[in-house]
Amino acid sequence: MNKDSNKATFLFSTVLVVIIAVLLSITAISLAPYQAKNIRIEKMKNILTSVDIHAETAETEQLYTQYITQQIVLNNKGEEVKGGVAAFDIDLKKELDKAKTGKTDEQLFPLFICNKEGKKYYIIPVRGKGLWGPIWGYLSLEPDKNTIYGASFGHKSETPGLGAEIETEKFQHQFIGKTIFDESGNFVSVTVIKGGASPNDTHGVDAISGATITSKGVSEMFKRTLSNYIPYFKSR
């Protein structure tokens, strides 16, 4: 075969592409278990961070097992569901999306219970939408199931210096001490307020300057996600 012909060039390119594809597939398959473990460890870290427990990678699993003593699955009525999928493995996005298709009776929500220094804290995952993509996090409640003990947020593609500020301690610490019920016991959630919340507002925090859409996304994330846990808290 003429090495300078189009046929030879095409054949060489095809073989090269096949070889590269095979090598990439082998690499992806071999790395998959490590990637899955890293994702699992990162999730554990975020859950622990919401109760002010900061873990190094090597100690994360041990601390998670030590402090997270219960992992509960709830249905949309706030009832505990036994058997089936584990709380840790529930994809909150998929469960929230079921409401769009009228399948609320099929929804499952994970709840993590932490025992720390003799107190019980309730950790709730939250998920919403920012300016450029999804935002998520974990919120922990005091034993009274009303007062926020801590919060941890993450995002996929928010703007550095603007929406990405939801990941900073400065923003997250504002939620500590806020309450999700009013004095009459009605669920009101916590709102991120443009222009700043009043110092006496127990249900509001300051919005991020220049990140109005992301700030609104956090408010919506709280209200939409937390509302699914209210039946459980009201029954306890």
Q: How many residues does the chain have?
A: 236
Residue 1, class by beta-carbon neighbours within 10 Å (0-12 exposed, 13-18 middle, 19+ buried)? exposed
Q: Region 14-43: what's the mean pLDDT? A: 80
Q: Per the domain annotation, does 164 fall within a domain?
A: yes
Average model confidence (pLDDT) across the chain: 90
Domain limits at 173? 42-234
Higher per-residue pLDDT: 78 or 29: 78
Q: What's the number of domains the chain is made of? A: 1
Q: Per the domain annotation, does 149 fall within a domain?
A: yes
Extended strands (E) in 96-186: 109-116, 119-129, 134-141, 148-155
Q: Is 123 helix (H, G, I), strand (E, B) or coil?
A: strand
Q: Per the domain annotation, does 2 fall within a domain?
A: no
Q: Per the domain annotation, does 15 fall within a domain?
A: no
Q: Could you give the CA distance from residue 236 to residue 231 in angstroms, rounded to a whole number?
A: 9
Query: 35-88: per-residue pLDDT in tens?
Result: 778 889 999 999 999 999 999 999 999 999 999 999 999 999 999 998 888 999
Q: Per the domain annotation, does 37 fall within a domain?
A: no
pLDDT surpassing 80 at residue 32: no
Q: Per the domain annotation, does 33 fall within a domain?
A: no
Q: Could you give the CA distance from residue 233 to residue 145 in angstroms, rounded to a whole number?
A: 7
Higher per-residue pLDDT: 28 or 60: 60
Q: Could you give the CA distance from residue 6 to residue 9 in angstroms, rounded to a whole number?
A: 5
